[in-house]
A and B are shown apart, each in its own frame.
Chain A
């Protein structure tokens, strides 16, 4: 069912990662991405692999779920691997050559490293941001991280509000699409046969009611907000005020140690291949 796609992302829980402040999670996710791109040698990659595995274990998200999260990008990964494999020119003799295709040792390493980078990146960001953080606290987190930009008059609160509303209405719209599709199927609509044009035409009976109801909803919501004197966050207080706890500072410290370790490994452990 359509619904499973969006609802399947956040897994409520009470692990250490679930309990982190969402602002800290945004910061940690960015730091982790930096760390992944800093890693240049075999050993640094091994460390990243180890910590990513640790993240999975600590978050108590099932491995199957995390692997399923990688599935959509598998083609991107394969594509970058192939490009790297054929395009990289190494210094020594090619390992393999046929006609104009030459594959070097460097190419293989680079292809594998690139693939691992993308996979770790997806795994880590989804663990920090999507699997363990509800959409609402994620928005609050992003707003918190971006709030210094208020100083240069960027409407951070408005962006956060828009994002929150969009997120809030995704499940509603999915549910509604489901309902409309069922109603049209009950009248004999057929969405799965015929050529491209016929299939595109078959979407009209779904899209028209969907847009009509989305606009109605948007209109109702804006009227309701105005009736409650919404003035884009001026002087508004928060129901759930975010507060950093000791846990957040410890996690930041661990992240700092992790990044330092990667930099040191890159520099001093010279065994094996490095980019």
Chain B
């Protein structure tokens, strides 16, 4: 069952001006409930555009977005309700910070949802904990924080809505490996605890392999491939043809398999391949 589904959606920026660009052409794809789906594609392939359709920031030029099977644009006046159900963290979200303290910035969305004072407080603390922002930082000004901290505060600002679907547009872009692990690991843990449907846009195949259940590959305003992580990574040569690369370890696993050694299981993370190789060696003896 798809939690959110994109049906024959096309989108054109600057329609009927000299600057018309088509960003999506007849895209259909579904995102499974309670799973982490990775969305990958080279720069300009239309990922951010697609993702901004999911919570109604952009309205499809044609086609439909179905949330739990219902068109989100059925009642355009109630689109803001959809935005609380589908939380979107935009690309480079640091610039959205505006309030005096980190605490009040994170509570911006819950306040807009008109929750009670105590509920807001609870949610702020919870959201901050998931992205590893401690109590001390909550009372600082968001403008005093480091880039990575700002990013995490911005993500917490969306987590505090407790959305049914959480969409993140390159949440780890431009961070060091440890920063990436903090953010993505925190999100993974959040997903496991809450069962939220997560859609994660990323450029990094390694991150995808570590954190995603399913993968959707975009190319040139269209869906190029979709499936479970292992299905998609077994199609290495096709993926290479659109300028993307599967994780190095998956290359190695594919080579080993190519030599007639049957590896099984998760073949796209270092740990997974190590397990498979060890199992094969034991089985062989």
Are B95 and A186 in contact, CB atoms less than 8 angstroms apart?
no
Is B246 located at the chain interface by the 8 A CB criterion?
no
Are B95 and A4 in contact, CB atoms less than 8 angstroms apart?
no
Chain A interface residue count, CB cutoff 8 Å, equals 26
Take A208-B98, A212-B143 as given contacts and tell me if A185 and B83 are in contact as well, using a CB distance cutoff of 8 Å.
yes
**Cα separation A187 to B57 with both chains bound (whole Å):** 11
Is B18 located at the chain interface by the 8 A CB criterion?
yes
| A206 (CB) vs chain B CBs: closest residue | B98
Are B95 and A187 in contact, CB atoms less than 8 angstroms apart?
no
CB neighbors of A among B71-128 (8 A): 80, 83-84, 87-90, 93, 95-99, 108-109, 112-113
Take A182-B57, A208-B98 as given contacts and tell me if A187 and B157 are in contact as well, using a CB distance cutoff of 8 Å.
yes
Is A1 located at the chain interface by the 8 A CB criterion?
yes
Is A198 located at the chain interface by the 8 A CB criterion?
no
The proximity string for A residues 178-199 relative to B, scoring 1 for CB distances below 8 Å and 0 otherwise, is 0110111111111000000000
- Which chain A positions have C-beta within 8 A of B18? 11-12
Are A7 and B95 in contact, CB atoms less than 8 angstroms apart?
no
- Which chain A positions have C-beta within 8 A of B90? 179, 182-183, 186
**Cα separation A208 to B55 with both chains bound (whole Å):** 24
CB neighbors of A among B7-41 (8 A): 14, 17-19
In angstroms, how far is the closest chain A Cβ from the Cβ of B74?
Answer: 19
- Which chain A positions have C-beta within 8 A of B96? 180, 183-184, 187, 205, 209
Are A187 and B108 in contact, CB atoms less than 8 angstroms apart?
yes
Are B17 and A180 in contact, CB atoms less than 8 angstroms apart?
no
Take A7-B19, A180-B96, A205-B108 as given contacts and tell me if A187 and B14 are in contact as well, using a CB distance cutoff of 8 Å.
no
Are A209 and B83 in contact, CB atoms less than 8 angstroms apart?
no
Are B17 and A7 in contact, CB atoms less than 8 angstroms apart?
yes
In angstroms, how far is the closest chain B Cβ from the Cβ of A110?
Answer: 39
In angstroms, how far is the closest chain B Cβ from the Cβ of A194?
Answer: 12
Are A187 and B112 in contact, CB atoms less than 8 angstroms apart?
yes
Take A3-B14, A11-B18, A205-B108 as given contacts and tell me if A188 and B95 are in contact as well, using a CB distance cutoff of 8 Å.
no
Is B161 located at the chain interface by the 8 A CB criterion?
yes
Report which residue of A176, A183, A187 has the largest number of chain B beta carbons within 10 angstroms of its beta carbon. Answer: A187
CB neighbors of B among A129-176 (8 A): 176
Is B254 located at the chain interface by the 8 A CB criterion?
no
**Cα separation A208 to B84 with both chains bound (whole Å):** 23
CB neighbors of B among A203-222 (8 A): 204-206, 208-209, 212-213
Is A8 located at the chain interface by the 8 A CB criterion?
yes
In angstroms, how far is the closest chain B Cβ from the Cβ of A178?
Answer: 10
Are A188 and B57 in contact, CB atoms less than 8 angstroms apart?
no
**Cα separation A12 to B157 with both chains bound (whole Å):** 43
- Which chain B positions have C-beta within 8 A of A182? 52, 57, 90
26 A-B contact pairs sorted by A residue (CB < 8 Å):
A4-B17, A7-B14, A176-B95, A179-B95, A180-B96, A183-B95, A184-B96, A185-B83, A186-B57, A186-B87, A186-B158, A187-B96, A187-B109, A187-B157, A188-B80, A188-B84, A188-B108, A188-B109, A188-B112, A205-B96, A205-B98, A208-B98, A209-B95, A209-B96, A209-B97, A212-B143
Query: Chain A residues in contact with chain B, CB under 8 A?
Result: 1, 3-4, 7-8, 11-12, 176, 179-180, 182-190, 204-206, 208-209, 212-213
Query: Chain B residues in contact with chain A, CB under 8 A?
Result: 14, 17-19, 52, 55, 57, 80, 83-84, 87-90, 93, 95-99, 108-109, 112-113, 143, 157-158, 161
